[in-house]
């Protein structure tokens, strides 16, 4: 039985369908979804999870209708305004990964403030991926590596060396990915970082993914045998 994961990554999918099923506008689904973030962050701290990384907005999400994009940006601002005090009290360190320069200045300002004012916290590292894409992260890391190693040919780069240039360089790789909303894909999330992550997919829409559902995912994770390329026998022998 594995102990609880140290790092959980989540793709919070199904807000729109949750709303549609209730004949409500998609925006209502996002409002419910944002409210749910708080309860899942709490659930993670209760289970001793140290790192939680949430996919809030992908580089592809700009293609959504303008009013939906603006609802998501407003919700992000509201979340930071409402939760900063709570995060500070609860020992949560907030960080954002992704290309933040595309966000409106009022949002960028709040992100920087939240990062600054929670920078000394260690109980839970909450990382929000926004305007983030796994391919963007890998290409950016490669460029940074090439800038730092101008005379070394790329094939000589060790995978571990690239890790130091990814936007998650100071986070361990995720142990568990939870994706809600019934789809079984990675959607350009932490592609490099999830090479050995256990993948958990549930049909539950994100607004309904509560602490009980989280416990179910943790229980499933507890039963996984993590081989990291080895055989069952080697793992059992503790090699």
Residues recognised as catalytic:
13, 61
43 binds ligand FPP per the rule CB under 6 A: no
34 binds ligand FPP per the rule CB under 6 A: yes
User: From CA 35, how far away is CA 27, in angstroms rounded?
Assistant: 12
- Residues 192-221 binding ligand FPP (CB under 6 A) are 206
Sequence-separated (6 or more) residues with CB below 8 Å from residue 115: 94, 95, 96
Phi, psi (rounded to 5 degrees) for 177:
-105, 130
Cα–Cα separations (whole angstroms), residue 209 to 3, 22, 42, 60, 69: 21, 16, 13, 24, 23
CA nearest 174: which of 119, 127, 223?
A: 127
98 binds ligand FPP per the rule CB under 6 A: no
12 binds ligand FPP per the rule CB under 6 A: yes
Q: 37 vs 194, which CB is nearer to ligand FPP?
A: 37
Q: 7 vs 26, which CB is nearer to ligand FPP?
A: 26
Per CB under 6 A, the list member of 7, 10, 13, 124 interacting with ligand FPP is 13
CB 131 within 8 A of CB 57: yes
Per CB under 6 A, the list member of 76, 165, 189, 221 interacting with ligand FPP is 76
Rounded to the nearest whole angstrom, what is the least distance from the CB of residue 15 to ligand FPP in the complex?
4
Phi, psi (rounded to 5 degrees) for 198:
-80, 135
User: From CA 182, how far away is CA 180, in angstroms rounded?
Assistant: 6
- Residues 112-151 binding ligand FPP (CB under 6 A) are 128
Q: 7 vs 30, which CB is nearer to ligand FPP?
A: 30
Task: Give the footprint of ligand FPP on this chain (CB under 6 A).
Answer: 12-17, 30, 33-34, 37, 54, 56, 61, 72, 75-76, 79, 128, 181, 206
């Amino acid at each position: 039985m594995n102990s609880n994961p140290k790092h959980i990554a989540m793709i919070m999918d199904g807000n729109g369908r949750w709303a549609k099923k209730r004949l409500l506008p998609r925006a209502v689904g996002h409002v419910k979804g944002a409210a749910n973030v708080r309860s899942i962050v709490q659930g993670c701290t209760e289970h001793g999870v140290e790192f939680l990384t949430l996919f809030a907005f992908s580089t592809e999400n700009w293609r959504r209708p303008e009013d939906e994009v603006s609802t998501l940006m407003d919700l992000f601002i509201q979340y930071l305004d409402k939760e900063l005090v709570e995060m500070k009290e609860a020992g949560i360190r907030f960080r954002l990964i992704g290309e933040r320069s595309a966000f409106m200045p009022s949002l960028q300002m709040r992100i920087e403030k939240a990062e600054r004012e929670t920078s000394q916290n260690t109980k839970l590292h909450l990382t929000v991926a926004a305007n983030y894409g796994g391919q963007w992260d890998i290409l950016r890391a490669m460029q940074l590596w090439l800038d730092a190693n101008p005379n070394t040919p790329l094939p000589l780069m060790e995978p571990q060396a690239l890790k130091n240039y990814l936007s998650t360089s100071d986070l361990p790789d995720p142990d568990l990915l939870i994706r809600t909303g019934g789809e079984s894909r990675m959607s350009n999330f932490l592609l490099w970082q999830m090479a050995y992550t256990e993948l958990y997919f549930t049909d539950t829409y994100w607004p309904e993914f509560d602490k009980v559902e989280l416990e179910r995912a943790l229980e499933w994770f507890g039963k996984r045998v993590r081989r990291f390329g080895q055989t069952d026998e080697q793992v059992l022998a503790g090699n």
